[in-house]
Amino acid sequence: MQTSGKYFVIAMLIIGSLSMVACRRDVTVFGIDDLTILPINSEKNKPKTSAQYISVLYTNLFQRAIGPNDMLSAQKAIESIGDKQIAYDILVSKYMNDPTLVLPTNEEMRADPETFVRNTYTRFLIRQPTEAELAWMLNYINSRPNVTPELIYFSFATSNEHFHY
């Protein structure tokens, strides 16, 4: 009898403590964490090697992979000029003379400039344009009759963002 009474007291203590815990009111504090808002392309912080750049460039322009011999000689050509912006400008200028280049026509671009801009961002920069970028590009295309898909491709291909990943 004494034993069962002891168990009863212990059980009551446990139930009592549980009920006290259960009855504690949850207090939730809401706060605002500091968050740095980075540009959409901020994760591209590594420069491509000349092999990576040429490989991606060639694929973007011709929609096929560059052959190993062409890759090797293109790397040598690039290495032979100290200012890499000038070297890549000349390389892209050379590729723009290639009849196998895969390039939208001017008519296609002007028929649907938004699709052209979105596709160009996706092709070269692997992302969609921001609203501000889209607006700027559409305004630029629509306000300048001399702008061609080739010149836009050239600019994207030789931009700093295209050189990074």
Partner 1 sequence: MNRRKFIRQAGTVIGGTLASPYIMPSGLMSMSTTAPMAEHVVFVLFAGGVRQQESVLQQYLAGSQNENVEGNIMYNMLSGAPPNDKIAYGRDDIQNNIIGAIPIDRILQTPLAEQGTLFPEVRFSKGGAGHYNGLSTGVSGNYELSQSLRARPASPTIFEYLRRHAGFKATDTWFVGVDIGGSRPLLNYSEHPDYGRRYGGNFLAPLTTFGAPGMKHFMDFKNYHPETEWEIIREIRGFLNQNFSTEGLEIPHLYNSEEEAYQIREFVRSTFEKVKANNLILPPVNDNRDLKAIGYAVEVLQWFKPKLLVVDLSDIDVCHANFTAYLKNVHRADHGVGFLWREIQRIPEMQNNTIMIVMPEHGRDLAPNPIQDLNMWYAFDHSTGNLNTRRIFSLVVGPGVQGNLRVGSESNPVGDAADIAPTIADIFGIKQQVIDKGLLDPAAMSLFDRI
Q: At 128, phi and psi to the nearest 5? A: -85, 150
Which neighbouring-strand residues pair with 164? 47
Q: Measured from the CB atom, is 4 or 69 closer to partner 1?
A: 69
Q: At 26, phi and psi to the nearest 5? A: -70, 130
Please state, in angstroms and rounded to a whole number, the distance separating the CA atoms of residues 98 and 61: 10
Per CB under 8 A, residues contacting partner 1 are 39, 41-42, 44-45, 47, 70, 73-74, 76-86, 88-91, 93-94, 96-97, 133, 136, 140, 144, 146-147, 151-152, 154-156, 158-161, 163-164
Closest approach, Cβ 51 to partner 1, in A, equals 14
CA angle, 109 as apex, 107 and 113 as ends, to 5°?
135
Q: Measured from the CB atom, is 14 or 102 closer to partner 1?
A: 102
Closest approach, Cβ 102 to partner 1, in A, equals 16
**Does an H or E element contain 112, and which?**
none
Query: Greatest CA span in the chain, whole angstroms?
Result: 103
Q: Measured from the CB atom, is 49 or 105 closer to partner 1?
A: 49
Q: Measured from the CB atom, is 24 or 86 closer to partner 1?
A: 86
Closest approach, Cβ 84 to partner 1, in A, equals 5
